[in-house]
Amino acid sequence: MSRLTRRGFLAAGAALGAANLPGFGSEQVRTAAPIAPGAPNADRLGWRVGFATYTFRGLTLFESLDRIAAVGLRYAEMFAWQKLSPQHPDAQPGPGLSRTLRQDLKNKASDLGIRLIGCYTNLGNEDAAKAFFEFSAEMGLEAIVSEPAESLLDTIEELTGQYKVDLALHNHPKPSHYWNPATGAAALEGRSPRMGFCCDTGHWCRSGLEPVEALKVAGPRVKTLHLKDLDAFGVPAAHDVIWGQGQGRIAEILKEVKRQELKPYFSIEWERTADSEPSLHAQSVAFFEKTAGELGGN
């Protein structure tokens, strides 16, 4: 089957699946037809919308990419301890991945029309950092998402220039080191533009930080976002809900990104369950597209 035929088949499957599977929340998706081609309103704003494959952490990476294609999105951020595929459950996306399996991963993503944007990993020391930057460059990734010690940032800054791969500092809730963006901003002050942020907006909300104010601190260093909506604000154990149905300030976040003229990558990162149906996330994409259209004057 040709690539064009395969992608057309997947788009049709996404439409049928989203139309027939039950929704999560107050409104079901009426049709996936506006979603299958991607997110055109977001595209017009220079925004890319996809998934963190952690959303499907109960599945292998290859199966996660199938889920993303079924939703109709074209981008993915991996995480380094996910099983690669049903055929290779002991392999993971990282420096230890063989050349053959690296090519298999590239082929899988390409066949589905998905661009691999980055990968979340632990950069624990200089050797580990160098190895992961080498892997990321070879795989064509744009960014490594991590929470390295500040003592490692000089080395990482050199590696970003050497391998042309960005660092995106991620924030877990307090008391993690980078829970407050002011800490990361101070650590990155004066450093290369390749050193920036992966803004986990749900963890900001869980820590009681207003995400719009946090985005003002992160500013032009925003590389990616783990965009989350939650059923409560300021509650560490708050649960994910569909974008636009909770207290995660999603519309306000998008408005602030537009105001700052940022061009980040937005990930759906669903933590509530280890697997989920494409129709669930199609509802989040529909809300994102509606908001992006309003911000873009469509």
**pLDDT tens digit string along 129-155?**
999 999 999 999 999 999 999 999 999
For residue 162, give its domain range: 3-295
User: What pTM was computed for the model?
Assistant: 0.88
The whole-number pLDDT of residue 36 equals 53
- Mean pLDDT by runs of 10 across the 298 residues of the chain is 34 37 33 58 97 98 96 96 98 98 98 97 97 98 98 98 98 97 98 98 98 98 98 97 98 98 98 94 95 92
The whole-number pLDDT of residue 4 equals 33
Encode 71-129 in three state secondary structure: HCCCEEEEECCCCCCCCCCCCCCCCCCCHHHHHHHHHHHHHHCCEEEEEECCCCCHHHH
Burial class (CB in 10 A: 0-12, 13-18, 19+), 151: exposed
Q: CATH number of the domain at 159, please.
A: 3.20.20.150
CB of 34 within 8 A of CB of 289?
yes
> Using one digit for the tens of pLDDT, what is the confidence trace for 193-234?
999 999 999 999 999 999 999 999 999 999 999 999 999 999
Number of domains observed in the structure of the chain: 1
The whole-number pLDDT of residue 66 equals 94
222-227 and 48-52 strand pairing? unpaired
The whole-number pLDDT of residue 6 equals 36
